[in-house]
Amino acid sequence: MNNAMPDSRSILRETWSNGTTLLAYPNLTSPAVYFTGYMQPGAIEDAEEFHGLASFTTDMLMTGTKRLNFQRLHDKIESIGASLSLGTGHLSTTFFGQCLREDLETVWSLLVEVIQQPAFAEKQFKRVRNQILTGIAIQNQDTAAMASQAFNLALYGSHPYAHPDIGYAQSVSGIRLEQLQFFHETHYGPNGLVLAVCGGIEPENAREICSRTIGVWQSNNQCSPKTLPPFTPPKNSIRSHIALESKNQSDLIMGVPAPKTISRDYQVCTIGNSILGRYGMMGRIGKAVREKAGLAYEVSSHLGAGIGPTAWKIAAGVNPGNLEKAITLLKQELLRFTSEPVTQQELQDVKTQALGRLPLSIETNAGIASILVSLERYNYGLDHLRQLPAIIESITADEILAAAQRYWDLDKLVITSAGKAIK
């Protein structure tokens, strides 16, 4: 892999008249290529009574096309040693895959066929619905999944992000095949599609292949994406618990709204989050709650990224008898985090780790392709990676303290958990 940071001099970026954008970066020592990207639609398009519709539709795409049934489609992909997958998030449908460079045109043609001409066979509809319902049933007995679902509902309230992309058992059970077909006809198309590729192919060759496959795709029915509604954060602290009596572990989530991903605050909070608990036992909460007090099996903090509202949260797996003690100790650590600057040693250690991870992030084709997608999604600009070390080095302890005080309002914490009933 070329050790140089991808930037505007080495990344090819091209947009076609159908609204598709390609980003390509070469790694000519690799015989393979990896690609990823996103397009309309996301779960935000789900009607209130049909949560899971967008995700269900996406799950149907790889079950066969009008030309290739399920078996023939997957045999064709596997026969050339390639992979192709799709999934749905809040705002978009994502796709990713890899193949040998000589098979890229074949795989991208299949990608267009899968998205543009799905068969929506009745047999596959029933099979996929059963798979989704089984997945929901498993999630409903998972303490981490239920604590997370309760946290999203509490934090986001009436905002679409409150609901799981996969939907609920009741909503998925009510979805009909005709709804999937109509949803597909009105929401899928090339406009807004972003595709990133990295591997053993010259960017110009990738552009030519994209021009012949995705670049010529046309759709007359694709509607405009729904606009995200405004988000109103909670005005008070919220505490909720989901009782799952058969579980021997309780999972806990504690958090607040995060800074916008496209902001200086986000970069500052990323460094602060690493000090707080990004590295488990190496972070403050890991040392305090797990290592010293022995109250958690695992504990870490996470700063969410995305378009629209995200969360800055702490997650912990604890013995049910230690749940309230863990919450108390975490609050104490947050009080310290919002009351005094981090130490210069903590700051320097985390900066060194962050700078050390940068070269690692571009060691693989998949890593670079994912970064290219993020550069486009968040409008960072093609030179962001080259500028990032200076941004990291410029962050101060006082900035981290000020940001922590802005976002970690200890009077407005959202705290959710799942496990044995609280006595």
Specify whether 406 is located in the same domain as 360.
yes
Specify whether 194 is located in the same domain as 263.
no
Residue 52: both structure tokens together: 């899971």
pLDDT at 422: 85
Specify whether 186 is located in the same domain as 246.
no
Specify whether 151 is located in the same domain as 244.
no
Whole-angstrom distance, CA of residue 252 vs CA of residue 39 = 33
Specify whether 302 is located in the same domain as 379.
yes
Domain count, the chain: 2
Specify whether 43 is located in the same domain as 100.
yes
Specify whether 54 is located in the same domain as 128.
yes
Distance of CA 92 to the CA centre of its chain: 10
Residue 6 domain flag = no
CATH number where 86 lies: 3.30.830.10
Alpha helical stretches, state H, 274-311: 284-285
> How would you classify the pairing of strands 32-39 and 238-243?
unpaired
Whole-angstrom distance, CA of residue 131 vs CA of residue 108 = 27
Peptide bond into 164 cis (omega under 30): no
Specify whether 67 is located in the same domain as 202.
yes
The last residue of one of the domains, among 216, 246, 277, is 216
Report the chain's terminal Cα–Cα distance, integer Å.
56
> Nearest 5°: phi and psi at 178?
-65, -30
Specify whether 250 is located in the same domain as 191.
no
Specify whether 92 is located in the same domain as 148.
yes
Residue 295 has pLDDT above 80, yes or no: yes
The string of pLDDT tens digits covering residues 100-112 is 999 999 999 999 9
Residue 3 has pLDDT above 60, yes or no: no
Residue 223 domain flag = no
The DSSP secondary structure of 213-273, one letter per residue, reads TGGG---SSPPPPPPPPP----SS-EEEEEE-TT-S-EEEEEEEEPPPSSSHHHHHHHHHH
Query: Is the overall model pTM greater than 0.85, yes or no?
Result: yes
Question: Which residue range forms the structural domain that includes residue 201?
Answer: 12-216
The string of pLDDT tens digits covering residues 365-410 is 999 999 999 999 999 999 999 999 999 999 999 999 999 999 999 9
Task: Return the ∠ at Cα 194 (arms to 188 and 197), rounded to 5°.
Answer: 130
| Number of neighbouring beta carbons within 10 Å of residue 328 | 10
Residue 5 domain flag = no
Whole-angstrom distance, CA of residue 274 vs CA of residue 283 = 7
Specify whether 329 is located in the same domain as 199.
no
Specify whether 168 is located in the same domain as 250.
no
Question: Residue length, the chain?
Answer: 423
